[in-house]
Amino acid sequence: MPSMVRAAAALLLLLSTAHAQVAPVDPVQRGSDIPKAWHEPARDEDFVRREVMIPMRDGVKLHTVIVIPRGATGAPMLLERTPYDASSFVSGNGARLRDRLLPGDRVWADNGYILVAQDVRGKYGSEGTYVMTRPPIGPLNPAKTDDTTDGYDTIDWLVKHVPEGNGRVGMIGSSYDGWAVVMALLHPHPALKVAAPESPMIDGWMGDDWFQYGAFRQKMFDYVVEQTSAKGKGRAVPRTGRDDYQEMLDAGSAGAYAARHGIDRLPWWRRLSSHPAYDALWQGQALDRLVAAHPSSVPTMWVQGLWDQEDIYGAVHSWEALKAKGMAATNHLAMGPWYHSQVNGRADALGPLRWSGDTAAWFRSEVLLPFFDTYLRDRKPARPTPHVIIYNPAEDRWERFADWPGAGPDELTPMYLQPEGDLARALPDAGRDSYVSDPAKPVPFEPLPIRMGDHASWSTWLVQDQRFVSTRPDVMSYQTPILEAPVHVQGAPVADIFMSTTGSDADVVVKIVDVYPASNADAPELSGYQLPVSLAMFRGRYRKSFEHPSAIDPGVVQEYRFRLPTINYTFKPGHRLMVQVQSSLFPLYDRNPQTYVPNIFFAQPHDYRPATVTIEHGKQGPSAVLLPIVPSSTAIAP
């Protein structure tokens, strides 16, 4: 009982003390509830955040966020330059840095890196004018600055004004940010010691972002508005319905859609739509050409997703261009089973495909971090950085290569399209298939309704089961018998289609598809699945010249030969190998009117006409897909 009395007395004393510490407050409201000055009490955060305006050589200052581990000395710096708001890469209000970062940045925080994010010119907090992927100084850019000089000046300032650093800088970034890395490599600062462009925008006409072999990617309408209608982020194009397929079909041409939504008043759209062919505008910005013409000695890892729905072209082509220039020793290629920029997130799955672990987390910790540590900290990795490392999705494993590809361009194996929908290595005697391509009923790129702003469907459309179109009369499917032995494909396939059309222009879409067995007890959802492993679209007017388009002679057989995205894939026994051919992929790509007009962007309604497309088989038209088949995998044993 005395103990209870003592406890009660202690509680009363505590309450009275607390009450005595609270000053009485006048109940009458006077003035504002927002004080002139208020400072949050200091917290025990494990990092220091600085915001600075770094001056460039022309006096323009760029907004830069620097995050330093508390107590750091002699730390390496990692720089990312972005048009997507440098302030947003550290979010929330947690006291631990890793809790405030996206997954892709946590590995750097965990290992004591100084993280630097910078807004490019004219975006968010940076001064100056914004130009979409500003061209290098030269014919397309008469100024004395570009993102090469801005990258150089930024690194120069960092090594002089961040005393916690060790004087060495690495650069990293995905998509547009990856483009900024490549621009910095054209004339790198001496302190730039290592780089990793991830899915970088390299050639916007050939296959990154804006076009694919001349066919315009209409998903970029939202991007144009978001990026160029405001200094910060503009909003996406407003929709009147919930199906982009129908809305874009009703609008007509890409130019008509742009006019309907006011996009035609934006300078970048005007510039882009005035240059539908591969002219000086696009050639002058093709960074794979530029890095090959001005190769740097900075060790670089070119990172790519095998199912990147936005920038599937640039990294591998840049690596190949540098390899051809004799720069293979300092350039590495890494390709994972990822959609666009998934390397920076969680990657234990892609659509219905499931991997044995988080492939991106493994890559970041076991390949990318040791690679950067090698050049920023003189830390020798436990295992040498692979020259080439590419995931084999069918085998569910990473594979390392001393060289790539296993089968060179002169060693490709033709798989010929056959009558009756067959696919085989033997050239048939003759034959042809015909279908009607109707611009009023274009083949969708994913099941309807389509919302290209929906991340879940947009990021996984490249692994969409193709059975949703395989029964359409305007989609031709050719497949092998059930495979009795594995077929290893390592490299870039080539489509080689011989066809005629009753129109004067045409598009060609070719897909390489893995057809799963009809029954799959371990993964029933994949029973009979038609998984595209490589596909591309080609605008027929450019069959002779990318720079100088020409009309197609109706009824005359023409050859359409173009490269498909790189793959490392094993078609397993019990599966089939399929090739699909069609003439549209809408609304992702704009419709070809199938009547030759000077600029498809501004085709008129009467230009859109049905056409009969005939695919030739046999010696007079040996339509085929040329595959880089190797007898057995050339991967190095792990």
What are the pLDDT digits (tens) for 513-553?
A: 999 999 988 889 999 999 999 999 999 999 999 999 999 99
Q: What is the pLDDT of residue 4?
A: 53
Q: What is the pLDDT of residue 326?
A: 95
Q: Of the candidates 489, 329, 534, 494, which has an alpha carbon nearest to the alpha carbon of residue 399?
A: 489
First to last CA, the chain: 73
Q: What is the pLDDT of residue 630?
A: 93
Per-residue pLDDT tens digits for 419-449? 999 999 999 999 999 999 999 999 999 999 9
Q: What is the pLDDT of residue 32?
A: 87
CB of 272 closer than 8 Å to CB of 599? no
Q: What is the pLDDT of residue 403?
A: 87
Per-residue pLDDT tens digits for 15-24? 555 455 556 7
Mean pLDDT value across the chain: 94
Q: What residue spans define the domains of the chain?
A: 47-205+281-401, 211-280, 409-630
DSSP codes joined into one string, 513-564? EEE--S--SS-GGGTT-EEEEEEEEEEGGGSS-SSS--PPPTT--EEEEEEP
CB of 405 closer than 8 Å to CB of 490? yes
**Which residues 6+ apart lie within 8 Å of 201 measured at CB?**
133, 175, 176, 178, 179, 208, 209, 311, 314
Categorize the per-residue pLDDT at 9 as very low, low, confident or very high, splitting at 50, 70 and 90.
low
Per-residue pLDDT tens digits for 171-214? 999 999 999 999 999 999 999 999 999 999 999 999 999 999 99
Q: What is the pLDDT of residue 23?
A: 66
Structure tokens at 83: 């048009």
Least confident piece of the model among 5-14, 115-124, 338-347: 5-14
Q: How far apart are CA 626 and CA 409, in angstroms?
A: 9
Q: Of the candidates 570, 410, 557, 562, which has an alpha carbon nearest to the alpha carbon of residue 488?
A: 570
Q: What is the pLDDT of residue 408?
A: 73
Q: What is the pLDDT of residue 30?
A: 79
Q: Under CATH, what is the fold of the domain 211-280?
A: alpha-amino acid ester hydrolase ( Helical cap domain) (1.10.3020)
Q: Of the candidates 613, 273, 279, 323, which has an alpha carbon nearest to the alpha carbon of residue 443?
A: 613
Q: How far apart are CA 86 and CA 65, in angstroms?
A: 7
Give the β-pairing of 397-401 and 215-216.
unpaired
List, as own/partner pairs, every contact residues 525-533 make where C-beta atoms lie below 8 angstroms and the sequence separation is at least 24, other chains included: 525/352, 526/352, 528/467, 529/352, 529/465, 529/467, 530/465, 530/466, 530/467, 530/470, 530/578, 531/353, 531/463, 531/465, 531/466, 532/462, 532/463, 532/464, 532/466, 533/393, 533/567, 533/569
Categorize the per-residue pLDDT at 461 as very low, low, confident or very high, splitting at 50, 70 and 90.
very high
Rg (CA), the chain: 28
CB of 69 closer than 8 Å to CB of 114? yes
Please, what's the largest Cα pairwise distance for the chain? 108
Per-residue pLDDT tens digits for 561-583? 999 999 999 999 999 999 999 99
pLDDT at 1 over 70: no
Q: Which residue has the higher pLDDT, 384 or 118?
A: 118
Per-residue pLDDT tens digits for 253-311? 999 999 999 999 999 999 999 999 999 999 999 999 999 999 999 999 999 999 999 99
Q: What is the pLDDT of residue 35?
A: 85
pLDDT at 12 over 70: no
Q: Domain 47-205+281-401: which CATH class? A: alpha beta
Per-residue pLDDT tens digits for 88-110? 999 888 889 999 999 999 999 99
CB of 569 closer than 8 Å to CB of 489? yes
Q: What is the pLDDT of residue 95?
A: 87
pLDDT at 61 over 70: yes
Phi/psi at 317 (nearest 5 deg)? -70, -35
Per-residue pLDDT tens digits for 232-249? 999 999 998 899 999 999
What is the three-class DSSP state of 265?
A: helix
Backbone region of residue 351 per phi and psi (left: phi > 0; alpha: psi in -120 to 50; beta: other values): left
Q: What is the pLDDT of residue 589?
A: 98
Q: What is the pLDDT of residue 155?
A: 98
Distance between alpha carbon 516 and the CA centroid of its chain, in Å?
Answer: 27
Helix 176-185, helix 147-161: angle, nearest 10: 80
DSSP structure class, residue 320: H
User: Is the CATH number 2.102.10.10 carried by domain 409-630?
Assistant: no
